[in-house]
Structure 1
Amino acid sequence: MSEAQHIELNHTAVYASDRHTSAGFLAGILGLEVGAPFGPFLPVDLGNGVTLDYYEKRDEPIQAQHYAFLVREERFDTMIARLEAAGVTYYADPGHRQPGRVNDLFGGRGAYFDDPDGHSMEIMTRPYALP
Structure 2
Amino acid sequence: MAIQLDHLMVPARDKLAAAKLLAELLDVPWSPTSVGPFAAVFVNDGLTFDFDQWPEPIPLIHCCFRVDQQAFDAILARIQAAGIAYRSAVHGPVDHAVDRAHGGSIVYWNEPDGHQWEMLTVSYARQ
TM-score normalised by length of structure 1: 0.88
2:30 aligned residue: 34
Structure 1 residues 94-105: aligned runs within 5 Å: 94-97=90-93, 99-105=95-101
1:79 aligned residue: 75
In terms of Rg, which structure is larger? 1
Q: Give the paired residue count.
A: 126
> Match for 1:11: what amino acid?
H
1:13 aligned residue: 9
2:50 aligned residue: 53
Q: SS where residue 122 of structure 1 aligns?
A: strand
> Match for 1:80: what amino acid?
L
**Structure 2 unaligned blocks of 5 or more:** none
Bigger proportion of residues as strand: 2
Runs of 4+ aligned structure 1 residues displaced above 3 Å come to: none
**Structure 1 unaligned blocks of 5 or more:** none
2:20 aligned residue: 24
Residues 1:130 and 1:52: Cα distance change in structure 2 (over 3 Å): same
What is the CA deviation profile of residues 22-74 of structure 1, one whole-angstrom value per residue up to 9, with x for unaligned ones?
011111111112125122011111114010100000x3211211010011211
Asked whether the 8 Å contact 2:63–2:118 carries over to 1, the reply is: yes
The alignment's C-alpha RMSD in Å is 1.6
